Structure 1
């Protein structure tokens, strides 16, 4: 599994229906699980992003499909980053000439 970090912000629609946000999170978790992925962690945040999700997915295509699915619902906008764990980071750096 590959780890991804999603930075999420509510849209105007999502902010207007804020009280439904926990139900939407549950639905998002089920949707990602149906695609073969999972949520590792989820945080409500202060600052530039409203929420941060740490997710695992089998590949980039699954995570792209999940991000597009979230976007179609109209409650959040997301930015997704592929995350390399420390071991992979060290291996990548070691290969630089």
Structure 2
């Protein structure tokens, strides 16, 4: 399973419907699980992003499809970062020679 960091910002529509945001999060969790992934952690954040989620998905295509489904809803805009765990980081750095 690959780990992804999903950075999300509310759209104007999303802010106006912020009270329904927890229900939308529950739906998003169910949708990603149906695709074989999961939202491992979710945070409301202050600063550059409104929300951050740590997700797992079987591959990049699944995560891309999930992010697009979120965007189609019109309540958030997302940016997705592919995350390498420490062991992979060390392997990549050690391969530099």
TM range (shorter): over 0.9
> Secondary structure at the residue paired with 1:42?
strand
Matches within 5 A, 1:1-12: 1-12=1-12
Deviations 1:40-89 (A, max 9, x none): 10000000100000000000000000000000000000000000000000
Tell me which stretches of 4 or more aligned residues in structure 1 moved more than 2 Å: none
Tell me how many residue pairs correspond in the alignment.
Answer: 97
Unmatched 5+ residue regions in structure 1? none
Distance 1:53 1:18 in 2: 17
Q: 2:57 aligned with 1:57, yes or no?
A: yes
CA RMSD of superposed structures (Å): 0.4
- TM-score in terms of structure 2 length: 0.99
- TM-score in terms of structure 1 length: 0.99
